C-alpha cells in the first residue's frame, strides 16, 4: 500500500466520542515505550504523525487518523505504565477495553511487543483477554534493530511457544524496526487484504 494521505482526525477520552465508524479501523496498542509512535510514523512515512514520547504513559487519549481517505488508524494509549496511580491505571484500562469491545468498525488490533524482552505477564494477560473476547489481533515485535537477528529470532520463538501453551493457532506475527524501517510492508499488506474498500 502506498500512503498518499495521513490526516489526524481527533483525540478522544471516551470511546463514545470517537469519530463515526464510517470506515474500517486498525488500532495499535502496547506497553508504554514499546515504540508505538515510532512504528506508526514509520508505517505512514511521516516524521511526526504520532508523537514519540520522552515521557511514557503521557498519551492517555485515543487518537484517530484517516489514511488514504479510506481507513482509520488508531493510536491507543500505552498500557502498563507503573508510575501512575492505581485509579489512573484503572481509568486507562477502562478506556482501552471499552473502546476495543464497543468499536464496531475495528478490523484488527496490532499488539506491539518489544522484541528484546522475554514474555511479560502484562502482555500475555492482555493477549489472553483479547482471545477471551474474540478480538482479532496480530502481534508486532518492535525495535528489531536493537539486537542481533539470531537473538531476535530466538525471542520471537520463545514468545510463540509461550502463546502456544494456551492457543491452538498463532495470530499473524510481524518483526519490525521503526529505526530501520523494516517489517512494515507486512502490516500494510495485511491491512490492504483485510479491509473492504
Ligand atoms: P511509545 O511510547 O510506544 O509511543 O514509544 P516511542 O515510539 O516514543 O519510542 C520509545 C523509545 O524507543 C524512543 O526513544 C524511540 O526512539 C525508541 N524506538 C522506537 N522504535 C525503535 C526502533 O525500531 N529501533 C530503535 N533502536 N529504537 C526505537
- Residue in 33, 35, 41 to alter for ligand 1 test, most ligand atoms within 8 A of Cβ: 35
CATH of region 6-194: 3.40.50.300
Question: Which atom belonging to ligand 1 lies closest to the Cα atom of 54?
Answer: 8
Looking at residue 81, what is its pLDDT?
Answer: 66
Q: Hey, how many other C-beta atoms are within 10 angstroms of the C-beta on 121?
A: 8
31 CB within 6 A, ligand 1: no
Give the separation between CA 50 and CA 52, rounded to whole angstroms: 6
- pLDDT for 109 equals 98
CA 196 to ligand 1 centroid distance, Å: 31
Tell me what pLDDT residue 188 has.
97
Query: 174 and 141 in contact (C-beta within 8 Å)?
Result: yes
Q: Is the CB of 53 under 6 A from ligand 1?
A: yes
pLDDT, tens digit (0-9, with 9 covering 90-100), for 102-148 = 999 999 999 999 999 999 998 999 999 999 999 999 999 999 999 99
197 has pLDDT over 70: no
The domain ranges of the chain are: 6-194
pLDDT digits (tens, 9 = 90+) for 40-56: 999 999 888 887 655 55
Reported pTM: 0.94
pLDDT digits 0-9 by tens, 84-101: 677 777 777 889 999 999
Q: How far, in whole angstroms, is CA 68 from its chain's centroid?
A: 19
Give the pLDDT band (50/70/90) at residue 66. very high
Residue-wise pLDDT tens digits, 162-185: 999 988 889 999 999 999 999 999
C-alpha cell of 165?
501453551
Give 54's DSSP letter.
S
Conformation bin of residue 24: beta by default, left when phi > 0, alpha when psi is -120 to 50: beta
Q: Say if residue 154's pLDDT is above 80.
A: yes
For residue 28, report the distance from its CA to the centre of ligand 1, in Å: 14
Mean pLDDT of the chain: 90
Q: What is the ipTM of this complex?
A: 0.99
3-class DSSP state of 159? helix
Amino acid at each position: 500500500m502506498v500512503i498518499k494521505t495521513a490526516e489526524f482526525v481527533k483525540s478522544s477520552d471516551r470511546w463514545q466520542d470517537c469519530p463515526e465508524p464510517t470506515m474500517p479501523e486498525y488500532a495499535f496498542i502496547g506497553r508504554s515505550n514499546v515504540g508505538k509512535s515510532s512504528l506508526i510514523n514509520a508505517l505512514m512515512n511521516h516524521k511526526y504523525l504520532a508523537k514519540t514520547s520522552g515521557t511514557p504513559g503521557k498519551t492517555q487519549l485515543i487518537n484517530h487518523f484517516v489514511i488514504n481517505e479510506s481507513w482509520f488508524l488508531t493510536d491507543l494509549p500505552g498500557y502498563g505504565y507503573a508510575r501512575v496511580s492505581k485509579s489512573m491505571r484503572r481509568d486507562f484500562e477502562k478506556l482501552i477495553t471499552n473502546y476495543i469491545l464497543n468499536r464496531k468498525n475495528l478490523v484488527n488490533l496490532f499488539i506491539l511487543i518489544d522484541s528484546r524482552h522475554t514474555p511479560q505477564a502484562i502482555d500475555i494477560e492482555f493477549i489472553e483477554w483479547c482471545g477471551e473476547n474474540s478480538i482479532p489481533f496480530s502481534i508486532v515485535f518492535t525495535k528489531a534493530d536493537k539486537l542481533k537477528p539470531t537473538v531476535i529470532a530466538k525471542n520471537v520463538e520463545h514468545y510463540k511457544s509461550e502463546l502456544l501453551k494456551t492457543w491452538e493457532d498463532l495470530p499473524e506475527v510481524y518483526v519490525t524496526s521503526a529505526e530501520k524501517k523494516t517489517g512494515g510492508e507486512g502490516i500494510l499488506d495485511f491491512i490492504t487484504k483485510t479491509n473492504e474498500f
